[in-house]
Structure 1
Amino acid sequence: MSRQLSFNPQKEYELIEYPGRVVNPDRMIATLGGIINVSKVLGDEVKRLALHFHPENPYNKPTFGDCTDKTGVLLSITVRRHKKDKQRPPEYFVRVLGHCSRSFTFETLCDFQYLPLWSTPKSDNANAAQELTFALDQLKPRDTTDLDFFKRRHSQLLALPELFTHVDTVYAGTHRIDPSEDGQHEVLGVQSKSSYDNQGVVSFNMVDSFPTQADSQNLKRLKVKYVSDEQLALVKKLFDDCPIWTRIALQYESGLTNDKLKCITPSLAFYFSNGPWRTLYVRFGYDPRKDFNSRYYQTFDFRLRFSTGLSEFVYAKKFVKQRRAANAPFAPIEDRVSDLVQDIDYPYFDEHKLPRSRQCMLRYCDVRMTRIQEMLEKIPTPLTGAVCNERTGWLPPGFDAQVRQIVCASISELLRNHYRKENLTAEVEAVTQVDEDDEDEAEDEETQEEDMDLDESQAMSNSEQYVDNDIEQLFDNITS
């Protein structure tokens, strides 16, 4: 029975679940880096507690303890038994010493521990038994004044791995046999949970049939996500007018948010993960392999490689969205060339405009350039019964490379004109300013005007030559 109970909740302790039986507390603290290192870790919410099994040996990797939230109390229980009357029940004195709110647990994997051991014979006989000796003093200097270390010859080498393990956490994923195999090769694949986002994803091939209707679960989500009939009808009309869409084009034409489209689109179309129409949404029941007009909707993957001349105008899509979320401005686009760069949410590529981002997934019909659309029109109609190519679709080989060259040439010419105009404007303004400052001091107005004309024409010709040479060098690296 308990006779005494005291409670002290104000005192807080730190719990370290040491993975071993502690016999000597001082040696235990030494394996944790000393009391100073323990105090630093306890005062930081991010640091991990390192445990070295051999504190004096630098050739091993420690195991780390992670900080986890764990509530507990520290109890002190004293048991008193009667020596004379052993039949009497013992008395228990319970004291609450304090509480703890977190714990350091060592549940990670432990790496290999390397010891600097050299094998030496027990006697001078070559056939004598070998013994291992701890040779740490011979592998590193004893202190900063141990200059004899560089004169000693090492009879043996200590071969250590270049890197220890990068991770020490246990992978909790499960594996399954790939159903596409026959089971003879033991191919393993990661078992991912079926989610709403990956439903309706189809791999393009020339054999299998494509989905003709939506999954019943996707139709139920329309009501759960509070999608109105008007919103559903709006997106359905877009798919009736055009069977294949990009996500950004659907969002632009419908005016709906991305969250609404993520719920509506799986009920009307499926998504190609590869092939000539990859990353596009295709209306249920439509087979682009059988329609020659689907060449207009094939995927055009356009990417820019450029130096600093173009990077000041075209940003990465992720960067722009982060700046917008933080309501942070990103000039120079805002104040210098707002009419030159397309908006990040604009789904088309207009002629005499810069692309919206460094990588654009477009349909060929989205590239609004007369020359490219004429190239699409001139592709000869295939014979009856012909099928498209699994890699290039209905387009001839090398068609995408030609389109990229045309787009890159258009971008290069656009930027050449922009930089030429900008530099010439700066040169003319500088010459005009000099003319106004020297006008009062000039003695001969006619001579001064002639000199001005010569200087201005020479400055403009020099500027054009300088700009042309500089721009030619600047756009050599613009490739797709």
Structure 2
Amino acid sequence: MDQSFNLKVPNRKYVLVEYPGRVKNVDRALKSLGGEKTIANALNKEVKTIELRYRPEDPFSHPVVGDVVPTSSLLLKVTKRKKKNQPDDEAAFKAEALGTILKSCRFRAMADFQYLVPKDEKFSRLRSSLEKGNVNEILNYKLDEEDNMTHIPPPVFSMRETPFDYAYHQFQPILRVRVRQRDGSYAIKLVNRFKRTALELISLSFEDTEIPTSPKFDLTVLKADERALADEIKKLFEERPVWTRVALLSNIAHSKHSSLRGALNANAYTFRTGPFRECWIKYGIDPRKDQKYHVYQNVDIRGTMELSHSRMGRRGTNRLLEAKIHKTPLSNEVNEEQRTSHLFDGRGAVPKSALLCLCDVTDTDFKTLIYSPGYMKSVCTKRSGFYYDCVYDRIRVLIKKKVYEYKLTGKAASLTNATQGLEEAIAKEIKMRKYDESTGFVDKGDHEEEDDEGEKGLSKEESFAKTLREIQAQGFGFGSMDLEKLAEFDFDVLYGEEADEDIVEPEDVEGEAVGEDEEEEREDKSLWELNDFDL
């Protein structure tokens, strides 16, 4: 029977570090772990990881991350004693318990790729000065044009910390077929049975002159459900030639939404820039050529859309996800609530999209602004389409104001001075921009700054504050915003651009090269351009 031992365990606590290497110098090993203080913190504090740097003196060294996990083990000291020339099996062993191991640091992750930066590199010296707090060297640092910045490594090369078994297998739809060659021999060719022709999206810039009349793919490549939906969408485009994607989704059953991509590309194209940006337009129609299409221009009310307050955020956006989780069938019918969910009437819940066609604004307060011929130009421009810039900006700001007010109070007051000052603003715009009925603004582009003699010498902040005071003087307030404190704001952040996308219904396009969205330059800010305060 094996002999048992009774050991007295002292009340001492230890941290076990499973060091991934052979330790010859304990001091250097501790330094690579961050020192004894780092290890002590792992025992006394809620530290989850310890970083191991094999080159602790190199500021660009990428660490190996070790996980600190709780354990319940004993630390034993085993002493072996034997005389000279005595066999090992006759040696005497003594075991002594030193304490308990409450936590262990285990290095299971793979080390990241390392990049050795030359020690004489300027950036290496700068980082060393930052870590050491050498103020003089930091102040004397200058970046020259001939400096080579290729020696600066990224914070991390590989995002994978653990090995991954790819388990390579041939894709099931792929078939190996023999193909006869010209010399009579046979070669093996791989054929994808499920290969599908790309449903190419036609996305134009406002400056493009050629308008597509048909899709670039054969309609026979569409699936059966896509062909059926394409016929249904074709009828919608007969009703009106321009739609937003959200408006189309509001007019088709939820069970068909997953087939929208192919059906939509079969019937319409879209613009990346201009007043019809992100609208879907029937093939063969150019809305820039005729003023009757002014009602299909879009208005962007980003900054006021919060999903938690909109009916789409509560029910529509997550409908497909909820159906997948709860196995509930999607509706095959379109009810009246869904059919009108994309409209803005100024009285009900906020629209479910941040991008509206003007024809979808049914609020009577905007009827004069949208449909009055005196507020329109005969030429379509990139910034404001067929409207004068000041009119288009007024429409956009007032819609945002109403949406913002409804979200705060649950109701929005009617507008009583929506057209106040517009006649003077239009006259001023025509005078300063030299507007011509046949060619539009001929001297200055749509995005050039106005050279106002009264504002020469003013900074951006001062000019912006002056504009806001003029608006406030005409009866439009900004809540508790103190215009005198405008200098406290960072102007670039205050006037910053937001992501150019539909925040409620993003495009569900897999693998389509649509092209990068070109953000419209809006340097020529009119009186009513108030994108800053997110009204």
Instruction: State the TM-score bracket (shorter-chain normalisation).
Output: 0.3 to 0.5
Question: Which has the higher Rg, Structure 1 or Structure 2?
Answer: 1
Q: Give the TM-score of the pair, scaled to structure 1.
A: 0.47
Q: Provide the TM-score with structure 2 as the length reference.
A: 0.43
